[in-house]
Homo-oligomer: A and B are copies of this chain.
Amino acid sequence: MSINNIEFSTKPDSGTSGLYGEDFLLTWEKSRADLETILAVAEDLKMLRDNNISPRCFDSGLAISQFRDNSTRTRFSFASAANLLGLAVQDLDEGKSQIAHGETVRETSAMISFLSDIIGIRDDMFLGAGNTYMREVGAALDEAFADGVLPQRPGIINLQCDIDHPTQSMADLLHLKTVFGSLDNLKGKKIAMTWAYSPSYGKPLSVPQGIIGLMTRLGMQVDLAFPEGYGLIPEVVGLAGKQAKESGGSFRTVNTMEEAFDGADIVYPKSWAPFHVMQRRTELLRKNDHDGLKGLEKECLANNARYKNWECTEEKMKLTKEGKALYMHCLPADISSVSCKEGEVAATVFERYRVPLYKQAGFKPYIIAAMMLTNRFENPAEVLMGMGKKGTRRVS
């Protein structure tokens, strides 16, 4: 079977200059053309698999995963992506390794990479640390490759850090592209990235930062809303403003959910910890100060509790464009009276959007696979068309 007659989204002239051989750490380090290539490759990989064509392009090879925080969605997405392309996942579990014995990042990075093609890292617990760690690994790999220690330089994929969550925001963007028909159709659309109440604390800032750091590049009207004191990393906020101007969109910060929801085409209500709390938390975690952490959690939860009205209710949804804004979330959401007493979203709102939410999540394996493929192949269009031509069945 072959599907020569099907049109591929990835064109021979697709941008790849910032992808091939380059780590994917922050969306704003990639050109618009590169990001469009990721979306196109993801769509093509999905299309091939949906047509039972195996997009396998590795006969062997390892995709290393390192999760410094819990994960279900991203873990399975990474495993699915690796498997789809023919890579085996090998997890670097620091607890079972020699890393605790004072081994340097430079050394470990080389040691796990002799026969590895891709390294995926989640490191979102320490503000100022996660992205830095990824770059430290990257520098170690560059050096080891230059020194002839490694036969190839594995590509790094950021599976969530303290700054960005690019596999999430790109999956979100592919969802928006699918729902609204094209990236062009997103121009002028209003998206409300807003804080929401949660009975837990310490949630990373990477999702809201990832959203404002990406959506401001598409000519969208991006509203960021949060209660006083719940600000994001200032540099990312500054970047969002700059990008909005350049793309012909807008970016502003507001202090109520209602303002952000007003006339919005898309809403993304999600809890996060205040930037300054994350800074204090990082210090306390570093010091292993359990009492300090408990005190901070108590204080922070008490402060959160002042904003229980930051819930995505039916009433607030009515403020959006025709009352029909697309509700988004990275999941799992704190659903009021389902997963908690009072949370980020009313059960009826969540339930009405459950199917699109799950579809949103379903793009992540393909986004990660696209990041893997474009990192290793200079001409993804050729590779994809080759797969279509060959037509190996995934399920025989």
- Chain A residues packing against B (C-beta within 8 Å): 49-50, 54, 56-62, 64, 67, 70-73, 75-77, 79-80, 83-86, 88-90, 92, 96-104, 107-108, 110-112, 114-117, 144, 147-151, 200, 331-332, 334, 338-340, 355, 358-359, 361-362, 364-365, 376, 383, 386, 392-396
Contact = CB atoms under 8 A, between A and B. Distances in A.
B147 A111 contact: no
A360 B162 CA distance: 35
Contacts of A144: 358
A60 B107 contact: no
Contacts of A67: 96
A70 B57 contact: no
Given A58-B396, A61-B395, 12 more contacts: A62-B79, A67-B96, A71-B96, A76-B90, A76-B92, A76-B111, A98-B332, A102-B332, A102-B334, A103-B339, A110-B361, A150-B362
16 contacts: A59-B394, A59-B396, A61-B394, A62-B83, A70-B100, A75-B97, A76-B112, A80-B90, A80-B115, A103-B339, A107-B331, A107-B332, A114-B362, A114-B364, A147-B355, A147-B358
Q: Top 3 nearest A-B pairs by Cβ distance? A: A102-B339, A80-B115, A54-B59
Contacts of A49: 115, 151
Contacts of A114: 76-77, 80, 361-362, 364-365
Residue of A103, A150, A358 with most partner-chain B CB within 10 A: A358
Nearest to A395: B58
A50 B152 CA distance: 9
Contact of A98 (B64, B73, B392): B73
B339 A72 contact: no
Contacts of A84: 60, 115
A214 B77 CA distance: 38
A365 B235 CA distance: 43
A58 B84 CA distance: 11
Contacts of A148: 355, 359
A332 B85 CA distance: 33
A70 B84 CA distance: 29
Nearest to A360: B149
Nearest to A67: B96
A340 B395 contact: no
Nearest to A151: B50
Contacts of A358: 107, 110-111, 144, 147, 149
A359 B72 contact: no
Contacts of A64: 76
Contacts of A70: 96-98, 100
A150 B361 CA distance: 11
A102 B393 contact: no
A240 B17 CA distance: 57
A71 B59 contact: no
Given A60-B83, A84-B115, A114-B80, A386 B396 contact: yes
A99 B72 contact: yes
A144 B101 CA distance: 40
